[in-house]
A and B are shown apart, each in its own frame.
Chain A
Amino acid sequence: MMAALQHALEHAGPAGRRAEELFGQYQLDSHKRTDRLFAGLMGFQWIAGIIFALWVSPLAWYGTTSRTHLHVWAAVFLGGAICIFPVLLALFRAGEASTRYTIAVAQMLMGALLIHLTGGRIETHFHVFGSLAFLAFYRDWRVLIPATVVVALDHLLRGMFWPQSVYGVLVASQWRWLEHAAWVVFEDVILIVSCRRSILELKDTAERTAALEQEVKTRQQAENVASLTAAVGLALTRGTELPAMLQQCAEALVQRLDGGLARIWTADDRGDALELQAGAGACPQLDAQHTRVRIGAFTIGKVAQAREPVLMRAADVIQPVADPSWAEREGLVAFAGYPLLLDSKLVGVLAMFAPHEFAPSALDAMAAVADAVALGIDREHAERELARYTRDLEAAHDTQRQNGEQLATLVDQLRMTQRQAEAATRAKSDFLASMSHELRTPLNAIILYSELLQEEAEDRPQPSSVADLQRIQSAGKHLLELINGILDLSKIEAGKMTLSLESFDVRAMIHELVDTVGPLVRQNGNQLTVHCADDLGTMHADLMKTRQILLNLLSNAIKFTRDGAITVDVARGLAGAQPSIVFAVTDSGVGMTLEQSAKIFDPFSQADVTTTRKYGGTGLGLAIVSRFCLLMGGEISVESFPDRGSCFTVRLPIEVVDAVDEPVTVGTA
C-alpha cells in the first residue's frame, strides 16, 4: 500500500509541477512589471502629446483672432481618455490578460494620436515600432495581434478618410496603409520569434530553478530525516520514562518533518484500546477526545486493527471531533498513520497531520521512526519488567539473607550451647578425674592394709578374721572397679578416650581370651565352644578395647549361666557397606525380658537391682562396652529371652579409622 502511494507521488513529478508553477510566476511577474512600465509610459506619452500639441499647433487662427488649437484639447482630452483606463487597469489589475490587451490597444491608439498631433510626420511612425517592441516585454506574442490590428485599421481608415492625419499629405496612395502594415507585420514576426525564444528561456530557467529547489529540498529532507532519526534514537535510548521518551519523539517528528502535529498512542495491557502518550504540534485541544481510543474505532483505531500504515487526505480522517473542518482550518492537508509493531504484536500507533503532502523520504522516515518507537516501547516494557524482577529478586534475596542471618544466629546459639555442654561435660569429667584421684588414695591404703592384714592373718591361725578381711578387700576392689568404670565413661563422654590402633590376628586374640576366662568357665560348670571362620585374618583396631569388650561379654555370659553352654562365633560380615568382623557371644543363662534388654547398655542399669546383689558387677561394664564399640565405628546389639539365654553381637570394622574427635554422647552417665 505504501509502495503504491510513494510510486504515485514520484510519478506526478513534484519538480515538473514546481517548474510550471515557477514559470507561471515568472510570466506573471513579467506581465505585472510590463503593466507597470506601460502605466508610466502612458502618463509620459499623454504629457508628451500635450507638449507636442502646444509646440506644433498651440493656436488656431481665424483671421486675427486666435484660440487654443483643437489639437491641444485633443492632446489633453483624447490622450487622457486613451490613457486613463489602461493605467487604472495596470495599477489595479496588473498581470491580467485583459489588462495586457487593453494596454496594447491603448498604446497603439496613443501612437495614432501622436502621429496625428505631429501632423502625420513620418518620423512619428517610429513610435509604432517602439510600442510594439515595448509590448514584446510581455513575452506574449498574442498582445501583438490587437496592436497590429489597431495600427492596420488606423492606417486604413485614416489613410482613406484623413490622409494628412496619418501620412502628413492631403492625398495618399490607396495602398499606403498596406506598406505600413507590412512593416509592422515584419516587426511582429521578429518580435514573435523573440517572444517565443524568451518564453523558452523563461521555462528553462523555471525548470532549472525547480530542479535546484527540489535538490535543496531533498537534501533538506534528508538532513531532516537524519536528524529526526538521530533525535528519536537519542530519545529512545537515553530516556528512562516512556511518556517523556515518546514526547521527545513526537516533537522531533513535528520539528524535522515540518509536520503540523504528531501523536503517539500505546496499546493498553489488555490490547483492546490505545492510550495517548505523547503529542506535539498543533491542536492540543483535540487531545482530550483522543486519550483513549478503542482499537477498530476511528481512523487511529483502524490503523491499529489493520496493522497497516495509512496515508490519506487530512479531510478524510475520521475522528471523534465535533467540527469536521478543523483540519482545513488548520491548513492540514495530509494524514499518515503507522501501527507500532513488534514481531506483528501491536504496541501502539503513531500519527501525523501535515500542512503539505508527505515526501517519500518523510514517509520512509516515519516508518523508521515507527519501528524505532515500537522497539523503544518494548525496551521500556522489558526494562520495567526487568526492574520488577530485580526488585522481586532483591526482596527474595533480602528475605533469604534475613533467613540466613537468623540461621547463622541460630547456629551460633547452637554452637554456644554445644560449647557450654562440652565445657560442662569436661568440667564433670575433670571433677570425676580429680574425685577418682582423691578416692583412690585412701582406697590404696585400704586395699593394701586389708591385703597385708590378710597375709598376716593367714600366717597366724585366725581364720575368722581372714574371711572378714577378704570382704573388706573385695569391697575395696569393687569400689575401685566402680571408680575406674565411672572414669572411663566420663573420659569417653568428654572426648578424652583415645584409640590406640594396631593390626592384630583375630583368631589369636580370641584364643588368648578363651585361655584367660577358661578357669571361670569351669567354676560355673559351663561348656565354652568357639567357632572361628577360616577367613578371619587380621583386623586394624584398638586391641585393648576389643579385648575389654569381648572379655566383658564373656564374663557376663559366664556369670549369668550355670551348667550351661556358652558359644563364641567369630566371622567376617558387613556393617553397612563396610567389611567388618562379627563377634557373637551366646549363652543359655538367665536371659532378659525385652524391657531389660532395652536398657542394658545404659550405665547402672543391670537388668534388675537384685541382679547386682546376686551376680555382682558394677553395672557399668556394658555401658562402657557399647561406647567402645561406637568409638571404633562399630555397633553392639542384644537378643535375649528370659530363662533361655542371651546373644550379644558386636560388629567392628576390619579397618577402624580414628576419626572420632567429637565426644561420644550416648545415653546418660
Chain B
Amino acid sequence: MATVLIVEDNEPSRDALARRLERRGYTALMAVDGTQGVSLARSAKPDLILMDLGLPGIDGWEATNRLKNDRETRDIPVIVLSAHAMTNDRDLALAAGGDDFDTKPVQFQRLIGKIEALLAKRVPR
C-alpha cells in the first residue's frame, strides 16, 4: 500500500489525518515543518505528499517548489492543503508545482478521492 507524507505543523491535525489514512491502509509519514518535509521526502521517497501551506521555517509553497525542482522528488505528487481557502491560494499552490489542492478542514472522502486519482496516474516504480 502507498506511503503518504503529511507535512503539517498542527499536531492534532497531523495525528488525526495520519490515523485516518492508516485506517484506510496507507503508511503515514509525518513532518512538522517545511525543511523536515523536504528532507524526509528525499530520504523516504513517499508515494504522495500532503503539504500544508502555513508552515514555520520554509512554508508550503517554498517546500513544494523545492521538491518540484529536485530531480529525485519531482515525480512525487503533492496535494496542497490550505486553511486560507482564498482562491489565489489555490492558484499559488498549483503554480508552485502542487498537483492538486484542497481546503481545510479536510473533507476526508473528497481528499481520499484526490489521493487515489493521483496515485492511479503515477507511473509505477
Does A209 have its Cβ within 8 Å of any Cβ on chain B?
no
Do the beta carbons of A447 and B83 come within 8 Å of each other? Answer: no
Known A449-B12, A455-B23; contact A444-B106, beta-carbon cutoff 8 A: yes
Q: Mark A461-482, 1 if CB is under 8 A from B, else 0.
A: 0000000000000001000100
A487–B23 Cα gap in the complex (Å)? 33
A436–B89 Cα gap in the complex (Å)? 14
Does B95 have its Cβ within 8 Å of any Cβ on chain A?
no
Q: Which of A437, A456, A476, A498 has the most CB of B within 10 A?
A: A437
A496–B85 Cα gap in the complex (Å)? 13
Cβ-neighbour of B16 out of A433, A448, A480, A484 (below 8 A): A448
Does A445 have its Cβ within 8 Å of any Cβ on chain B?
yes
Do the beta carbons of B85 and A443 come within 8 Å of each other? Answer: no
Q: How far is the CB of A425 from chain B (nearest CB, A)?
A: 16
A484–B16 Cα gap in the complex (Å)? 22
Q: How far is the CB of A537 from chain B (nearest CB, A)?
A: 29
Does A452 have its Cβ within 8 Å of any Cβ on chain B?
yes
Known A440-B85, A441-B104; contact A448-B10, beta-carbon cutoff 8 A: no
Do the beta carbons of A448 and B20 come within 8 Å of each other? Answer: yes
Do the beta carbons of A445 and B10 come within 8 Å of each other? Answer: yes
215-241 of chain A: CB within 8 A of chain B:
none
A480–B103 Cα gap in the complex (Å)? 11
Q: Would you list the 8 A-B pairs with minimal beta carbon distance, nearest first?
A: A448-B16, A445-B12, A444-B105, A440-B83, A444-B104, A437-B83, A447-B105, A443-B105
Residues of B near A491 (CB, < 8 A) are 86
Cβ-neighbour of B104 out of A440, A449, A455, A487 (below 8 A): A440
Residues of B near A448 (CB, < 8 A) are 13, 16-17, 20, 105-106, 108
Q: Which of A437, A444, A446, A452 has the most CB of B within 10 A?
A: A444
Does A451 have its Cβ within 8 Å of any Cβ on chain B?
yes
523-546 of chain A: CB within 8 A of chain B:
none
Residues of B near A498 (CB, < 8 A) are 87
Q: Which residue of A lies closest to B20 (CB)?
A: A452
Q: Mark B1-42, 1 if CB is under 8 A from A, else 0.
A: 000000000101100110110010000000000000000000
A residues contacting B by CB (< 8 A) are: 433, 436-437, 440-449, 451-452, 455-456, 476, 480, 484, 487, 491, 496, 498
- Interface majority SS (helix, strand, loop, mixed), chain A: helix
Do the beta carbons of A441 and B10 come within 8 Å of each other? Answer: yes
Does B84 have its Cβ within 8 Å of any Cβ on chain A?
yes
Q: How far is the CB of B12 from chain A (nearest CB, A)?
A: 4
Do the beta carbons of B83 and A441 come within 8 Å of each other? Answer: yes
66-125 of chain B: CB within 8 A of chain A:
83-87, 103-106, 108
Do the beta carbons of A487 and B85 come within 8 Å of each other? Answer: yes
Known A433-B86, A437-B83, A441-B83; contact A449-B105, beta-carbon cutoff 8 A: no
A433–B103 Cα gap in the complex (Å)? 13
Q: Which of A452, A484, A487 has the most CB of B within 10 A?
A: A452
Q: Which residue of B lies closest to A448 (CB)?
A: B16
Q: Which residue of A lies closest to B23 (CB)?
A: A455
Residues of A near B86 (CB, < 8 A) are 433, 491, 496
Residues of B near A441 (CB, < 8 A) are 10, 13, 83, 104
Known A480-B105, A484-B85, A498-B87; contact A444-B20, beta-carbon cutoff 8 A: no
A436–B83 Cα gap in the complex (Å)? 8
Residues of A near B13 (CB, < 8 A) are 441, 444-445, 448
Residues of A near B85 (CB, < 8 A) are 436-437, 440, 484, 487
Q: Which of B13, B20, B23, B86 has the most CB of A within 10 A?
A: B13
Do the beta carbons of A447 and B106 come within 8 Å of each other? Answer: yes
Residues of B near A447 (CB, < 8 A) are 105-106
A476–B104 Cα gap in the complex (Å)? 12
A452–B54 Cα gap in the complex (Å)? 24
Residues of B near A445 (CB, < 8 A) are 10, 12-13, 16
A452–B22 Cα gap in the complex (Å)? 11
Residues of B near A451 (CB, < 8 A) are 20, 108
17 A-B contact pairs sorted by A residue (CB < 8 Å):
A433-B86, A436-B83, A437-B83, A437-B85, A440-B85, A443-B105, A444-B83, A444-B104, A445-B10, A447-B105, A448-B20, A448-B105, A449-B12, A452-B19, A452-B23, A455-B20, A456-B23
